[in-house]
Structures are given as C-alpha cells and as structure tokens.
Amino acid sequence: MAPVLQLASTSPRRREILASLGFRFDVVEVETDERPLDGELPSDLVLRLAIAKAEALNCGSCVLGADTVVVLGDRVFGKPRDAEDAVNMLLSLSGCKHTVLTGVALKTPNGTRSVLSSTDVQFREIGQGEALRYWQSGEPADKAGSYGIQGLGGMFVKAISGSYSGVMGLPVFETIELLASAGIDVFEKKR
C-alpha cells in the first residue's frame, strides 16, 4: 500500500513524531533557502518555508512540510553554524523566555494549507562552560536555537507554555488538524 504522506524533511524529530502517530510516509529531502526576507516577521518566515518545502514536491499524494525557529526579542535563531554560534545562542537564551515558532504546511491535490504553532520557553541560567560542553555532546548541531528539548537540552528548560512537540519541530495538535482538514483520518491511517 502506498504511503499516505510524503514528509518534505529529513529531521529525525519530525520523522519520530509522525511515526509515533502511526502514519505511513516517505521522507524526501528538499532544498530550501532558509534566509529571511528583508523585514519578514519570524511567523511569516516559518510559514513561508513550510509551504515552500511542501510545494517543492510534485506528486499525487499529500506532502507535509515544516520549519522551526527560536525567537528572542527581534532576534531569530536557526541552526548554529559552529560551536561559537551555538554557545552564543545558548548564552543569549540563558535565564530568558523565548518563543519557538513552527510552521506546518500540507499540500494536497486541492491546494496547500498551513498553520502556526507558538510556544513560550523559559530557560534557566546557563554558564559558558556548560553551553560548550552541551555543544560538544553533538546534540545541538542541527537544531534551531542550538538545543533539543527532548534530549540533554531539556535540562535548560525551566517551563514551557504551548506545544512540547512544536518545540521539537512538529506540533501534533496542529498537524493532526491539517491532516483531518484534508480528509486523512488519524484512526484509519494504518490500514
């Protein structure tokens, strides 16, 4: 039986979340320029990129795309370039509340729909040595804001208000709503 979905992302977290929901899907890597446009709001950025990823595939099945950024004031943190960038991000987030935005888009033969997940995350204080040791663990290298809430990075999180799975990169509630709007029944997906 053909997969219900195409996932336009190679993120292990997105694969994990979608698989945990029981969906059959193929993973397809798509190239997208993730640089923000001049004056683009972070919420518009993640929605634009999620839509671009979903619409990059021309196939007959449904395509799911997503993008996540961390926002602190007027600064947008994507994936770190290197150790120095990661440590600087973590020290900027230290002791602060920031917002994690994840845009999710679903392309179907009837068009593309998108939704936004917004979660506030409060970090505890982080020292430079601790931030560097965390980088050296290898975990933050491919994560927006240089941390993974579901792993070691969870030790920095004092509190969250919003979607835990959205911080991981694929908000379950919003994703299921999008799939349901396309007629994909979460309880029928295994057949």
Q: DSSP E strands: which ranges in the chain?
A: 5-7, 25-27, 62-72, 75-77, 97-108, 111-123, 157-161
**CB neighbours (10 Å) of residue 127?**
11
Q: What per-residue confidence (pLDDT) applies to 1?
A: 46
Q: Is the pLDDT of residue 74 over 50?
A: yes
Please name the residues in contact with 146: beta carbons below 8 A apart, sequence gap of 6 or more.
77, 79, 80, 85, 86, 87, 89, 90, 135, 140
- How large is the average pLDDT for residues 136-142? 95
**Residue from 26, 33, 44, 67 carrying the catalytic annotation:** 67
pTM of this structure: 0.93
- Could you say which of 3.40.50.2000, 3.90.950.10, 3.30.1150.10, 3.80.10.10 is the CATH number of the domain covering 5-181? 3.90.950.10
Lowest mean pLDDT among 46-50, 56-60, 168-172: 56-60
pLDDT for position 191: 40
pLDDT exceeds 70 at position 190: no
Please say if the pLDDT value at position 3 is more than 80: no
Of 101 and 25, the one with more pLDDT: 101
Tokens 């994703």 correspond to 175
Q: How confident is the model at residue 4 (pLDDT cuts 50, 70, 90)?
A: low
pLDDT for the residue numbered 24: 86
Between 4 and 129, where is the model more confident? Answer: 129
Over range 35-55, report the average pLDDT.
Answer: 96
> Between β-strands 111-123 and 157-161, what pairing exists: parallel, antiparallel or unpaired?
antiparallel
Domain residue spans of the chain: 5-181
Cα(first)–Cα(last) distance of the chain, in Å?
A: 9
Question: In the annotation, is 67 catalytic?
Answer: yes
